[in-house]
Each structure stands twice: as C-alpha cells, then as structure tokens.
Structure 1
Amino acid sequence: MNDGTDRPYRVRMLYHPRIHVPSLDQAEDFFARVFGRPSTNFSVVMPEPPAPGHSVGYSTFTSVSDVLIDSLEPKRYLTGGTQRYPDVEVPHLETTGWYVDGVKALYRELRAGGLRLVDSHDSVLDGEEWPGGPSPFHTLPDDAGLRYAFFEMFPFPLDPRVREGWTVPEVSEDDPLGIQHASHHTVLTSRPERALRLTVNVLGGEVVRTGRDELRGVAGPFVRLADTVFHFAAPDPGSPAAADAAAHAPLDTYHAITWKVVDLERTAKHLDAEGVRIAHRSRTALVTDPATSLGVPWGFTTDSI
C-alpha cells in the first residue's frame, strides 16, 4: 500500500452517512423536531427514473452543520424493478464514504492492495481502470468492514458543502441543540487493523489517539481523516454497543455520530422536550436512547477530541 508520501489522490470530505429507515416521513419529522433541520426528498434532484425499473423519491437529505445525512427507505428503493435492500423495522446507520480528488488513482491503489470493489449495483469491478460515471464505487464489507463509498467531488445540489467558499455555519440562536459541528463517528469493530489499513495506510488518515468512550463503553483508535474523526472501537461485553455489534458481526457496525455542542444543558432540555430519552450522561457529554431517537444513539459533547 502507498506509504503516504506521494499519493496521487486526496480525500476531500465525508460523503453522506446513510440511515436505513422504515419511514421517510418518520425520519423527516424526527430531524425537523429534534435537530430543527428541514429535509429534502431526492426526487427534487431526480424527478424521473434514470432507467426502467428504477424508483424515485426513496431518500431524503438533511444538512446538519458539516454533515449531510441521507435517510433511505429500503422498500421504496428499486433498481431494475427489484428492491435493493431488505426492509427495516428499526432505523439504523448503515454506511458512509468519502469525496476524493483523483478517485481513479485511488481505485487502482485499492485494487493493487487486494481490496475488492463493486459498483452501486453490487457488480464486481475487475477492470484495471475505474470507468467513472454518476455513481460511486464501494468496498466490500468483508474486506473493509463496511461498504464504504468513494466519489469524485461534484456539485450535488442537496449538499451545501460542495459549493465554492462554503464554511461550517455558526451556531444560530434558534438551533435547538446548539450544534457546532460533528465531533466524531463511532464504528464498532473487532478488527481495528482492518479499518486502519483502509483509513490510515491507504487514505492517509492519522491516528490522533487511542482511548475510551466511557458513556458508550467502547475503546479503540481515533482516526482523523480529512474533515472527520472516526472512533474505530471495540465494545465492552454486555454494553448496548456490544448488542449492536453482535447483530452485524463479524462485519463492522456504523454505530453513532457524536456532535460538538455549545451548551450541554441546552441540548438536554430540548431532547427532553421532544421525548428523546438520555441513556447515559456525564458532566460534558450525553448519549441518547436509540429507541427514542430514530434508532441511533446520538452523542452530544462539549469536549473536543
């Protein structure tokens, strides 16, 4: 793998995290009430099917500070007339990826390192060169832990971050949670070396420290990659995180997103007002009960990594 000194590609920013939800209406209502953010259906960008048997209106996008969240309802998502993903009864974070400058060079590097790649229809890519196109390519979970996506940066109309001159917005007075930016993303894994092989050895991330998240009961390396920090962590036995990890083992689990906020008490009061229970809390951080927060144990903290 590339030693990092002469990479002909560069990770620019996090691609949109995706949540699989049983109902887009439920997801849109949650983000409006709890996060105070509107959502936009993908049909605004793609009002007509791009091919026969391809559905439209299967996902909504919600911009939260420096993260664009994609909520997808599997039963609405068809390609070739076939439903691509199984129905879900409980929402769950599924995957994410990265915008990359020089994505064709990255494609060659990943294949040279023995990582198998597929297109958005899960067809194996065995060509020497990435042919490009309007869709990303993906890793296989067996090789990388998750089905990560890689995409050349392009002007996606629903992603404000790709616009020229965009910066992380200041916290507004009417932001009910007081979110400054994403703190970190928690990926549960029993094989951190697999995650580090991709994010550090290939993509150029940096291990900033190794440590615990006491509220979640997980421990492992924190990796800074472009604009994002990932915590690739093993859960403590018997913890709620361990139950989540067991449901996806031996693959990794995209478990949660934690947000940096200006005032934890302000955040907690709003969550309580909207019926979101707090599962764990310390002086500087809290974690929500996923049963009341769209299936995700969101974190909120005043600490900085």
Structure 2
Amino acid sequence: MVHNYRIVRMLHPTHLVLDLDAAEKFLLEVFGRKCDKIEAYLPPPDKAPGFPRDYSITTMIADVWFDCIDPRKYVVDDQHFIEPVDQPHLLGTGWAVEGIRDLYQRFMDSGIRSTDQRNRIGTRDRIPQVQFTPKRPIFLTLPESTGTRYQVSPAEYIGKLDARTDPSWKLPPVSADDPLSIEFCSHHTILTKNLERQTHVLVDICGGKIIHTGRNEILKTDSTYVLLADAIYELGVPYEEGSFAMNDLRSRKPLDSYHSITFKVQDLAKVEKHLRDKKIRLIHQDETTIVTDPSDAIGIPWGFTTKRVPNDSRY
C-alpha cells in the first residue's frame, strides 16, 4: 500500500513535572521565557465539559515549543491521562504532520500501536480522536512499540500557542536580553539499548536522515544523529557502567529515555555566569559545552553548546 504523508515539524517536547508553578518560575527566571496556560488553547468550557484547564503550560524557546504537564491535574472522570510521576522527567515529543491517517496506517502496518488521549487503543479502521473534538485525529504511540512516546497531530490543527504555525515565522535572532544567548535547539537526546527500534521509526517510517555517528564523550554514549523535519535527534547507546546516561536509561527500563534537550548558544561564558547566579549546579563543563544538574533544573540535564552537530545545515 502506498502511503502519502509528510512530517512538517517537531511538535512540543512534553515534560512531566510535580509543580507547574515552580516550572513556570524556572522558565521565566532561568530561560527568560514567559509561559502560556493551556486554557488559552482549549475550547470554551461548554465545548469541553469536564476537561481539565490547568494541567499544562507552554512556552517558545527559540525554535522549540516546550510543554510542561502536571499529570495529577490531567484527569477526566477520575482517570489519569498520564500516570503521576515521583520525579520530573521528559516524557516524549512528536510531530505535526500532513497526511496523518496515512502515517497512522503505516505505523499499524509496522506493528506499532497507538492510543488516544485517554489511553484507548486505536484500531486499523478507527484512528484515535481528540478528546473533545471527535472528528479531529490525534494519536500517541505506545512507548512499548516505539521506545518513547510520540504524539502525532495534523499540522493544520496546531494552535496559536506554537508560534511556528504562522507562515511568516522565522527563527528569531538572539536577543541581547536573553540570559542564555540561545540561537536554536541543537538536538534532543534519546537514550536507548535498541537503536534499531528508534531508527526504524525516525528514519524508515518518518523519513529522517542519519547525518552523523560518533562517540559522545560527555554522555558516554555511541550516538547516531537523525535529522527529521526541523529537529535533530541524538540516539545515544550508553557504553559505560555507572555513567549518568546509563543510570537514567536503567531508571526507565524497559523503555528508552527522552533524556535531554541541548541548545546552540552564542556566548557560553554568559550562560555559565547566569546559571551560577541562579545557583544551578553543573554536571559537566568544558570549553564548548555545559550541562545542568537536573535536580536544580526542573528535572532536565539541559545542554548548552557552542558546537553544531556535524552536518547540521538547518540554520
């Protein structure tokens, strides 16, 4: 069967937190970004009765539309859409696509199962739908099938909170007021022991391209870098016992771990000073790269680097 679909861009990374107010404060004070409440994206209450309106905040960080969710608030009819967490951790990302029904069928043909937002499994004949808009498709892959969860939405339905939906959107220049001098997102790191599973999804099915392979001496991983639409995914296979990456991957066992987000920055010295001023410890620092201690950074080992991923020609 011929399938006709296209990945337009990465959707939002989803980060699970214990305290949305603390996450909002962190993103404002550390990243210098204000957040939007999910309520601004939802239909009026009478169009989505019983649907929570305070479970998520989003913000744009350069070219990344970043989403924080408190699973304890993401409840309908006493059912959690996402199980609450004991520690904050990145959950997954996804894509805005053209031809979502064809992509769904391609996943089905590959044995990859998906659910709707209430964790109900889709069937070959029925693609999952948005909770409060029954005729609008959306699906979330089972992480048991794809390693991490990928959320897939039609590109034409992505709302105004994602600034990139504006046809005139361009990557903004670095602002003099940006405390981290962020240029753009360098890459998203997924840790895995099953590289073939991730490349099957990102490359074979979604049409990504492997642009670089090499050893990541910071993470102690053998890494494969995949360019898919507007984003780069680092698929890292940890090789050193006791390393930070190995321990994180084992904490997610048997799944993969959406481990971190790394930004390309203009001025690393400025980044270091700002992070230290905010009392954020570092777990790695060298002449080109800084990595935050996740315990000081809403659960994420954020990376900041002056180096491009080899063969990255996006900007």
> Residue by residue, what CA displacement relative to the aligned partner does 1:206-249 show, whole Å, maximum 9, x if unpaired?
11111122222222211110100001111232111111111111
> Residue by residue, what CA displacement relative to the aligned partner does 1:141-200 show, whole Å, maximum 9, x if unpaired?
111101211111124121101111111111010000000000000001000100000000
Aligned to 1:63: 60
| Aligned sequence identity (%) | 37
Alignment of 1:29-108 (within 5 A): 29-46=25-42, 48=45, 50-108=47-105
Count of residue pairs the alignment pairs up: 301
Shift of the 101–142 alpha-carbon distance from structure 1 to 2, 3 Å rule, reads same
Aligned to 2:313: none
Q: Is 1:183–2:190 an aligned residue pair?
A: no
CA contact 1:188–1:233 (8 Å) conserved in 2: yes
Helix, strand or coil for the counterpart of 2:111?
coil
CA contact 1:215–1:282 (8 Å) conserved in 2: no
Root mean square deviation, CA, Å: 1.7
CA contact 1:200–1:206 (8 Å) conserved in 2: yes
CA contact 1:119–1:125 (8 Å) conserved in 2: yes
Aligned to 1:169: 172
TM superposition shift of 1:51: 4.2
CA contact 1:215–1:286 (8 Å) conserved in 2: no
Alignment of 1:110-121 (within 5 A): 110-121=107-118
Aligned to 1:200: 203
Amino acid at match of 2:180: L
Helix, strand or coil for the counterpart of 2:68?
strand
CA contact 1:179–1:262 (8 Å) conserved in 2: yes
Amino acid at match of 2:27: F
Unaligned runs of 5+ in 2: 130-134, 310-315
Aligned to 2:245: 241
How far, CA to CA, are the matches of 2:54 and 2:45 in structure 1?
A: 9
CA contact 2:128–2:138 (8 Å) conserved in 1: no
Aligned to 1:125: 122
Helix, strand or coil for the counterpart of 2:18?
coil
TM superposition shift of 1:129: 5.2
TM superposition shift of 1:49: 6.7
TM superposition shift of 1:73: 0.7
Amino acid at match of 1:10: R
Aligned to 1:209: 212
Of 285, 291, 296, the residue aligned with 1:287 is 291
How far, CA to CA, are the matches of 2:128 and 2:145 in structure 1?
A: 22
Larger mean CA deviation between 287-296 and 76-85 belongs to: 76-85
CA contact 1:53–1:81 (8 Å) conserved in 2: no
Larger mean CA deviation between 42-51 and 118-127 belongs to: 42-51
Aligned to 1:257: 261
Of 7, 12, 36, the residue aligned with 1:11 is 7
Amino acid at match of 2:6: R
TM superposition shift of 1:27: 0.3
How far, CA to CA, are the matches of 1:49 and 1:175 in structure 2?
A: 39
How far, CA to CA, are the matches of 1:34 and 1:128 in structure 2?
A: 46
Shift of the 142–83 alpha-carbon distance from structure 1 to 2, 3 Å rule, reads closer
Larger mean CA deviation between 133-142 and 197-206 belongs to: 133-142
Helix, strand or coil for the counterpart of 1:259?
strand
Larger mean CA deviation between 212-221 and 22-31 belongs to: 212-221
TM superposition shift of 1:127: 3.1
How far, CA to CA, are the matches of 2:255 and 2:212 in structure 1?
A: 23
Amino acid at match of 2:68: S
> Residue by residue, what CA displacement relative to the aligned partner does 1:67-112 show, whole Å, maximum 9, x if unpaired?
0111001111112232333333422111110111111111111111
TM superposition shift of 1:53: 3.6
Amino acid at match of 1:262: Q
Helix, strand or coil for the counterpart of 2:45?
coil
Shift of the 131–279 alpha-carbon distance from structure 1 to 2, 3 Å rule, reads closer
